[in-house]
Every structure is written in C-alpha cells, then in structure tokens.
Amino acid sequence: MALTRETNGELGDPRVRRTQAALRRALIDLVQDSDLSRISVADVVEHAGVSRSTFYDHYRDVHELAETACTAMIDDLIEAIPSPETKDTPDSTTDTLRTFFAHLAEHARLYRSVLGPQGSARVIDHVRRRATVAGYVGARRAAAGCGTGAPLDYTAAVPHDVPAAFTAGALIGVATDWLERDCPRSPAEMAALTRPLLAALYGKDDPPTA
C-alpha cells in the first residue's frame, strides 16, 4: 500500500507512473553517494530530468519520496522472494533471510535514514505489517503441510499472533542495529545468525516462511 499521493486516481496514468518511478530512481541513485539529509529537491529533479513543479505534484518533500521509494522496494523484494513449494527447510529459510539482508545492504544509506532514530514511522510500520502477515500465514501453511498456496495479501488484517508480531519486530530491530553499525557482518552471516533464533521461537528446526 503506497503512503503518498500515489494512492489517488492518477496512479492509472502511465505518465504519472513513469514520473514517480523516475523520481524514485533518482533518489536511490543519489543516496548511494550522499546521506539522505543532504539531498535536496533540486538534486532529485536535476537527476530525474523533471521540473520542481512536477516534483511537488507528487511529493511534499524528499523525505516523503524516500518513504515511498522504500515501501515500493520492500514490496518488490517480498514479491521477488519465492515461496517454497514444499515444507520449509533450514536452507530455504536462510536463503530468504540472506536475500532480505542483502537488499538492505545494497541500499544501506537509504534504509539507515528511514529505519533509524530519526526515520519514518510509516516505513517501519509498513515493514512490520508485511513481516507479521508473512509470519502468520507461513506458520499456518507449515502446520497444515501446505506448499506455496495462494499469493499473500500483505494488506489483509490478521488475528493477533504473538510469534508473528515478535518475529516482525525482532527482524526490524536486528536489521536497524546492523544498518546503524554500517553492516559489520555480511548478509550471509546475518542470515546464519538469525535463522536459529527464529527456529527457537517456533520450537522446531525450520521456522516458517511465506
């Protein structure tokens, strides 16, 4: 679910989608070499090749653009991670976690800005909600011995589920601490360290994934 004016009816206009995508790409490119706090609207529009008025047609400021870029990337990441066709295994869970941490590392400056102490509650909540849904549905599919099942609806409400909520909060906490410390361990190391903790939470060798 988008967090900005991208939710309005104009989203169906291909020109609007192209402009918003160009602005997001510009910010993602710029943040590779500079902290988010140092990037201005002028920097973004110059890199994207659009006018300032066009920018303000879509976003209030760079921070709102950053929120939208992050939530869009998280949604793309979730959709790109394949669900296991059979029962989850330690290898499949570790692969999913490694993909997650690798994605954060690739865009570390941007995620450090929006997930850190001065970051965006909207982005944190967006990630938390999607991780909670994945944990809740994944646990029930594993318990039922199901495979991939239907695609997950990450906007759907789920019942209060302590393990799923705990897992989501723990992953955000671990990821944020790792980003703030400039990613001292590799994504593979983070996955290897995190998987046993999730397995212990669910009381079995293979923690469920979506």
At residue 85, the pLDDT reads: 40
- Would you state the pLDDT for residue 8? 47
Which position has the higher pLDDT, 124 or 209?
Answer: 124
24: burial class by Cβ within 10 Å (0-12, 13-18, 19+)? buried
Angle at 84 between CA 69 and CA 115, to 5 degrees: 25
User: Which of 7-16, 41-50, 121-130, 182-191 is least confident?
Assistant: 7-16
Phi and psi at residue 144, to the nearest 5°:
-90, -5
User: What superfamily in CATH does domain 8-59 come from?
Assistant: Homeodomain-like (1.10.10.60)
* Residue range 51-60: mean pLDDT, rounded: 96
What secondary structure does DSSP assign to 130-199, as a single string? HHHHHHHHHHHHHHHT--S-SPP-TTS-----HHHHHHHHHHHHHHHHHHHTT--S-HHHHHHHHHHHHH
pLDDT in tens, 141-156: 666 666 555 566 666 6
Q: Note the pLDDT of residue 78.
A: 75
Q: For the chain, which residues make up each domain, given as ranges?
A: 8-59, 69-202
Q: What distance in Å separates the CA atoms of residue 153 and residue 158, rounded to the nearest whole number?
A: 10
Question: Which residue type does 209 have?
Answer: T
CA atoms within 13 A on the CB side of 42: 1
Enter the pTM of the model: 0.76
Is pLDDT of 42 > 60? yes
Torsion-angle region of residue 130: left (phi > 0), alpha (psi -120 to 50) or beta? alpha
Poorest-pLDDT segment among 8-22, 79-93, 113-127: 79-93
